[in-house]
A and B are shown apart, each in its own frame.
Chain A
Amino acid sequence: MQTTRLLKIAAVSASAMLLVAACGGSSGSSSSGASGSASEGAAAPETPGGAAFAGPVGEGEGQVNVLAWPGYVENGTTDPAVDWVSGFEKETGCKVNVKTFGTSDEAVKLVQGGGWDVVSASGDATLRLIYGDNVQPLNADLVPNYADVFEDLKLQSFNSVNGVPFGVPHGRGANLLMWNTDKVTTPLDSWAVTFDADSPYKGAVTAYDSPIFIADAAVYLMATQPELGITDPYALDKTQFDAAIALLEQQKELVGEYWSDYTKAIQAFNSGTTAVGTSWQVIANLAKAEGGKIEAVKAKEGATGWSDTWMITKDTPNINCAYKWVNHIVSPEANAAVAEWFGEAPANAKSCELTADKDHCATFHAGEADYWTDVYYWNTPTTACLDGRTDVQCIPYSEWGTAWSALRS
């Protein structure tokens, strides 16, 4: 029939127009992609992100949209006594809309999707956000509490470019070896039971479900296979990378579940489905609060860890609330509260006097530089080796992602 033919033609031409639109439409991402690939070979691309906010910080815009790791932005919903947000909201009039994520990959994708003002990014997300033109440099003069942050957290390779800071350090912690004391009767101090083929806990081991976990395998190899010559678990050449993947394939036989959702990890450890594996202090704290029989330590071979940075997204409309939030979360009171709740070392030196547990900073080694020498903060692997080697090429993060998904499939 004439009508049907006309409709068919209309449908086909509409689809064709859509294809053309799809090709040309997202030219924004292709141009930044092109500039990224042009500078790919260079060791250090130009300082990105545009100019920092000149200030001064004025009246709040009424809201601030925050992307955070679980446990960083508590407003009383998890535990009524745990709240460092409501006070901020009343004082500044900036309503805090928070969304938590489970891995750095989720964080990067969420930030790139738009609509967020502030993000607490770990080192394996920060550089991607900086060079992806998603965040803006920090104007430290607008953050009075920045001055009190421990010096060895500022201007690190993962949160600054050419001496320009891109955010305010939040705190740092190590990925811990955690076990259920009902299943594991002797205290552990080594990753061996989570990696070695003859582990007695086959089928009850857990590991973090993110490509960055390859670095944990590399850390174990630093201790068990020193002949590989790994000095930085995020700077792995082909041989070292293949060895790490081989170790992870071996570990896969032992694993019962991989986790990225921290509530699932809590439940798995408490119910005994998981006997031992990688975890965070906040998971140990919450699991014990629910009555679980849990212990957690930093293993003797060292561990990966994180040093998070609060970053402000580029072109955010709520810039004043964003700066107010960043200054608040790093203030001595809030930083102390987060550090105790989450279980990490605070970034603000003055927080140590304000923690409810007076030994908190000592327990978490907040001011001790030597403790952190065998904690390898999450970082973004690049083709140019992060440990400075120029005779080999290292494996970039995109291939870490592909290798991890092949491992998990």
Chain B
Amino acid sequence: MTTTTATHRGFWYRHPGLRLGGLLTAPMAWLVVVYLGSLAALFLTAFYQIDDFTGQVVKTFTLKNFTTLFTTSAYYESVFRTISIALLVTVLCLVIALPLAFFMARVAPRHWRPLMVALVLTPLWASYLVKVYAWRAMLQPESGVLAWFLNPLGLDGPGYGYLGIVITLTYLWLPYMILPIYAGLTRLPDSMLDASADLGAHSGRTFRSVVVPLIFPSVVAGSIFTFSLSLGDYITAQIVGGKVTMLGNVVQQTYVTNLPFAAAVATLPVVIIVLYLLAVRKSGALENV
């Protein structure tokens, strides 16, 4: 009997470790070779320098790139500007997404939900460039929609620049903030809200003490999207930013003439995101996801 069962079960059945390893090879290869490997190569290049005339990379170890980066005021101003744009975009997305997601999840009739989710997702079907160029036309200081709307009120449109970048990025990443919060809100049990009302809490207190802690992980998930996507963006700055540049633009401008310096600049967003994720973990938002 035992010999028959042994021949029935195959090699992979008898070696679960190898089976697991085999299944994981493809995604692990992608993760380690493509993703981590290229990050490692990038980090290494930051310590090299270039030959002045030919522009080719010379593999001698130097800290020159990092010292230039941290001692030139233009560059760390760029860092602060980029972080501030990313934070502002995150906050604005949150302010717009919360009421929208709440309406979708709690207020609207149940059978409307698929339609509303589809409507939120539709802008993602359009190409990134199409959307940003559309905003370029809308932000145009004289003929754009915003100017047409605000000029009769005596105000100037935001035009191209810092504000233009923030508005465009908020528009672009809004679906990524709405959907996680919507998902979190739909999972909120009605019984919690009933219990809170039974205990005598007003809706404001319920929102503050019951809803917010429960959807906090979703908010954080959405903020990771908006923060990291805004931190690395450079195309939007080129199209609607006027002469304002972000960290990604510094990389884009220097990677041809000075690849090691561009690599040094590129490691900064990686470090910032790692710090952001550590802060997120500290806040406990990832506990019960």
Contact = CB atoms under 8 A, between A and B. Distances in A.
A269 to B, nearest CB: 13
A12 to B, nearest CB: 9
Contacts of A401: 253-254, 256-258
B51 A36 contact: yes
A37 B51 contact: yes
A77 to B, nearest CB: 19
B43 to A, nearest CB: 9
Contacts of B21: 3, 6-7
Interface residues of A, number: 54
A356 interface: no
A297 B72 CA distance: 37
Contacts of A109: 255-256
B258 A398 contact: yes
Contacts of A32: 54, 56
Interface string A1-44: 01100110011001100110011001001101110110010000
Q: Is the interface of A mostly helix, strand, loop or mixed?
A: helix
A398 B56 CA distance: 11
Interface stretch (B74-82, B108-116, B196-204): B74-82
A128 interface: yes
Given A3-B20, A7-B28, A402-B261, A128 B142 contact: no
Given A405-B253, A406-B74, A273 B37 contact: no
Interface stretch (A251-259, A280-288, A308-316, A320-328): A251-259
Contact of B44 (A23, A36, A132, A397): A23
A108 to B, nearest CB: 6
B57 A30 contact: yes
B74 A409 contact: yes
A260 B28 CA distance: 40
B31 to A, nearest CB: 8
Given A7-B28, A255-B243, A33 B140 contact: no
B242 A257 contact: yes
B148 to A, nearest CB: 14
Contacts of A34: 58
A213 to B, nearest CB: 12
Contacts of B36: 15, 18
Interface string A390-409: 00000011111110111111
B140 A273 contact: yes
B142 A132 contact: no
Contact of A40 (B17, B40, B44, B52): B52
Contacts of B32: 11, 14-15, 18
Most buried by A among B51, B160, B250: B51
B245 interface: yes
Nearest to B142: A272
A175 B28 CA distance: 52
Interface string A145-166: 0000000000000000000000
Contacts of A252: 243
A402 B68 contact: yes
B143 A271 contact: yes
A2 B16 CA distance: 12
Contact of A409 (B51, B56, B75): B75
Given A273-B160, A402-B68, A409-B74, A132 B56 contact: yes
Interface string B234-258: 0000010011010001100111111
Contact of A22 (B24, B44, B72, B255): B44
Given A7-B28, A40-B51, A401-B254, A29 B57 contact: yes
Interface in B102-130: none
Nearest to A211: B257
Interface string A90-112: 00000000000000011011000
B28 A33 contact: no
A33 B142 contact: no
A10 B57 CA distance: 31
A36 B254 contact: no
A131 B36 CA distance: 33
B257 A258 contact: no
Nearest to B20: A3
Contacts of A258: 243
Interface string B64-106: 0000100010110110000000000000000000000000000
B189 to A, nearest CB: 34
Given A40-B52, A397-B257, A402-B261, A256 B58 contact: no
A99 B188 CA distance: 53
A33 B32 CA distance: 29
B245 A398 contact: no
A383 interface: yes
B134 to A, nearest CB: 13
Most buried by A among B24, B41, B55, B245: B55
B57 A33 contact: yes
B59 interface: yes
Given A3-B21, A32-B54, 18 more contacts: A3-B20, A11-B28, A29-B57, A30-B57, A36-B53, A37-B58, A40-B51, A106-B256, A128-B54, A131-B54, A256-B242, A397-B55, A398-B55, A401-B253, A405-B254, A406-B72, A406-B74, A408-B245
Interface of B: 17, 20-21, 24, 28, 32-33, 36-37, 40-41, 44, 50-59, 68, 72, 74-75, 77-78, 140-143, 160, 239, 242-243, 245, 249-250, 253-258, 261
Q: Which 4 A-B pairs have the closest CB atoms?
A: A401-B257, A36-B54, A33-B56, A105-B256
30 contacts: A2-B17, A3-B21, A7-B21, A14-B33, A15-B37, A18-B32, A18-B40, A22-B37, A22-B40, A23-B59, A33-B50, A34-B58, A40-B52, A131-B54, A211-B257, A383-B52, A383-B53, A396-B52, A398-B50, A398-B55, A398-B257, A398-B258, A399-B52, A401-B253, A401-B254, A401-B257, A405-B250, A406-B72, A407-B74, A409-B249
Interface of A: 2-3, 6-7, 10-11, 14-15, 18-19, 22-23, 26, 29-30, 32-34, 36-37, 40, 105-106, 108-109, 128, 131-133, 211, 252, 255-258, 264, 271-273, 382-383, 396-402, 404-409
